[in-house]
Amino acid sequence: MASTIAHNMPALASTLSPTSISKLQMTTAQYRAAYTSKTTGNPHDKIVTGGIIILGPKILLVKRAATEIYYPNMFEFPSGNVDETDASILHSLIREVMEEIGLIIATVLSPEGGSLILISNPPTNMFQSLLRGALIASATISYVSAIPTISIKGSKFFTNGQQFFLKGVAYQGTPDDPLVNTSQCQSDATLMATIGTNTIRVYHVDPTQNHDGCMKAFSDAGIYVFLDLDTFTTSIVSNAPTWTETQFNAFSKVADAMQGYDNLGGFFIGNEVITNDAQSNAAPYVRAAAADIKAYMALKKYRQIPVGYSAADIAELRPMLQNYLACGTDQSQNIDFFGLNSYEWCGDSSFTVSGYANLQQMAQGYSIPIFFSETGCNTPKPRLFTDQAAIFSANMSDTWSGAIIYEWVEETNDYGVVTYPNGKIYSGAPTPLQPDFNNLQNQWKSVNPSGIAEASYTPTNSAPACPSATGGWQVDGSAAIPRLDTGIISAAAGNPVATPAASSVSSAAASVTTTAPGGAFAALPSNATAPYPAGNGTAPYANGTAPCSTITLTSLIPISTISSAVASTTPVGASTGPGGILVATGTPTTSANNGGVVSQSPLPATTSTQVSVNGAGVLTVRSTVAGLAMVFAGFLLL
């Protein structure tokens, strides 16, 4: 969730009266029914044409006007929903939203669904946070206090302005997705919280499954999820490395499915792909995968989710591997964090004897966050976890960002800290394995590094130099990495590389563009002028020159005034700004811009569908004879 909203919304929302909170907890269907009772005629039509909804986290507000255009400074609440005091508070909440993300307009699609369409250009991290919860039928206002997202500055993680240290456990004992059974996740998250867990690592998920319940269970417990993007069939293979479109598509599906959760801490692009110097040739493929996934998420306008790598602790690869994955000045081609799977500290060892002093020396000055993505030697028994005191001590905490204990569930390898009834895995009430469970709890209770406030932190570490090929490292750090063609990434993100240029439009139609971020492209009749004079735009879109503005026409354009080429097959143009709006004349047109919305004038008497290939969803537009009465309906593709 973006910072302004995260900081200001909870304080405002907390002042709402219990009565108003109760009334705001109506389901989408109930709200729709309440609104419909105040209208006449077909309720679907009334809601589509006039039910403008403004979204705050899990708050649905309807402007009760069947034919009016919505203005940002006007707010109406259906009678009986909120009192005047709360209306003022909610007004402030909405203004916070609008100042942060620009105008959001959403309309209910049908009495049966809760689907919306948007016209907006928000930062996607907040866009997803606002909408995902707001459209759940049983949504409640409590979501305004959602867990703050993890971000990176220099070599440190931050949440809500404070440095973040991982106290995590590995949470996957079988190939099955552990984030689909809500009740099981709730049981595990509750017990994890008692020992101070703030992170879990999950190795594989099924992107076709619903993870809302489990992600919420861990979020409610204050627990972040670091997730591997690969599957058992798509991981980069050590001895025969590849990075293919098939692998990319599989990775991106996982990213799509999980990116909207605020408590997603980051993605691992691979786990222990390289385990000896002979396999170091796989490193460029790891780096290419990270670069392409980061590029894809940027095109999709997702929040900046960290993408890193989890390495086996192999002495002969230190420090070449960690340096190679973060080297050079182009951070877009590097990983964002480095995880180390290390089991060197066994029993009641020490900073020097364990080898941690050597690990610290090699990581000192590293330019990105580094942490133990697996740790917890299991010999001798019981496990003491005394390495945690070292990791969070002054010796290491300025460099290392915490640790993930391997693992939560007891398997045949004897690394677990809990068991389940009848020897099952992730099924039933978890039972602590003692004294290991209490030993870990006591260690974490005793270590609480304060870190540094984000506002007070100025990164000084430079990216490491790219290592040259040597006898123990076979990769030339200056060589290009095997990234996929940019067209593949762009097409997958719904952002084709080539877009129709305004110059390709027939002279029968003039075109004007706004190139500011969130700007609009409009194709106008030949007598139109720019900037658009008063009356040539429909408020609040008039003149359409500001960022996030939309330009529409006030009258139908006879199809005869447009060249036959445009009328038959040629799109008029595309938005030039990220998140821009395309308002076209001629044939149905597709927006290729993230956040873009497609509309068209004129259209046949019956509604036609224009498809947006990105996250803004599907929009249908119908023009009527009376000026420009734009009737919006559609789906928001969550």
262: Cβ–Cβ under 8 A, 6 or more apart, which residues? 1, 129, 146, 147, 148, 149, 219
The predicted structure's pLDDT at residue 404: 99
Number of residues written out for the chain:
638
Residue 53's DSSP bridge partners are: 62, 106
Taking a C-beta distance cutoff of 8 angstroms, is the pair 283, 321 a contact?
yes
Residue (of 58, 53, 54) closest to 13 by Cα position: 58
DSSP-derived 3-state class of residue 560: helix
CB-count burial class (<10 Å; 0-12, 13-18, 19+) for 524: buried
CA 521/CA 515 separation, integer angstroms? 8
Amino acid at 570: T
The predicted structure's pLDDT at residue 18: 52
Give the mean model confidence (pLDDT) for residues 157-172.
Answer: 96
Q: CB neighbours (10 Å) of residue 222?
A: 15
The predicted structure's pLDDT at residue 122: 32
Across 5-38, b (16+ Cβ under 10 Å) vs e yields: bbebbeebbeebeeebbebbebebeebbebbbee
Give Dmax (Cα) for the chain: 85
Chain-centre distance for alpha carbon 146 = 14
Give 267-309 pLDDT, tens digit per residue: 999 999 999 999 999 999 999 999 999 999 999 999 999 999 9
313 or 503, higher pLDDT: 313
Residue (of 113, 7, 67) closest to 638 by Cα position: 113
C-alpha to C-alpha distances, 610 to 69, 99, 293, 616, 632, nearest whole angstrom? 22, 29, 28, 12, 11
Where residue 272 falls (left for φ over 0; alpha for ψ -120 to 50; beta otherwise) is left
The predicted structure's pLDDT at residue 562: 24
The predicted structure's pLDDT at residue 247: 97
Q: What is the mean pLDDT of the chain?
A: 67
Map out the domains of the chain as residue ranges: 3-145, 150-491, 506-611
Q: Note the helical H segments in 364-450.
A: 387-391, 436-446
146: Cβ–Cβ under 8 A, 6 or more apart, which residues? 1, 6, 57, 129, 133, 219, 262
Give the mean model confidence (pLDDT) for residues 585-597.
Answer: 34
Side-chain half-sphere CA neighbours of 290 within 13 A: 31
Question: Is 374 an annotated catalytic residue?
Answer: yes
DSSP-derived 3-state class of residue 55: strand
Question: Is 99 an annotated catalytic residue?
Answer: no
The secondary structure element, H or E, covering residue 497 is none
Taking a C-beta distance cutoff of 8 angstroms, is the pair 60, 18 a contact?
no
Residue (of 585, 583, 590) closest to 632 by Cα position: 583
Q: Is the pTM of this model over 0.75?
A: no
Q: Which two tokens stand for residue 376?
A: 């917890």
The predicted structure's pLDDT at residue 495: 65
164 pLDDT above the threshold of 80: yes
205 pLDDT above the threshold of 50: yes
Give the mean model confidence (pLDDT) for residues 521-535.
Answer: 30
**Which of 96, 100, 374, 454 is labelled catalytic?**
374
The confidence band for 174, taking pLDDT boundaries of 50, 70 and 90, is confident
414 pLDDT above the threshold of 70: yes
Percent of the chain with pLDDT over 70: 55
The predicted structure's pLDDT at residue 504: 23
Q: Which two tokens stand for residue 560?
A: 């005869």
583: Cβ–Cβ under 8 A, 6 or more apart, which residues? 520, 521, 522, 523, 550, 551, 552, 553, 599, 600, 601
The predicted structure's pLDDT at residue 584: 35
The secondary structure element, H or E, covering residue 619 is strand 618-622
C-alpha dihedral sign at 521, 522, 527, 531 = negative
The predicted structure's pLDDT at residue 496: 53
Q: Which fold has domain 150-491?
A: TIM Barrel (3.20.20)
Report residue 183: phi and psi, to 5°: -65, -35
C-alpha to C-alpha distances, 584 to 9, 551, 611, nearest whole angstrom? 37, 10, 13
The beta-strand segments (E) located in 382-508 are 400-405, 418-419, 431-432
Percent of the chain with pLDDT over 90: 51
CA 495/CA 596 separation, integer angstroms? 10
**Which of 99, 100, 245, 272 is labelled catalytic?**
272
DSSP-derived 3-state class of residue 269: strand
Q: Which two tokens stand for residue 61?
A: 């507000």
The predicted structure's pLDDT at residue 227: 98
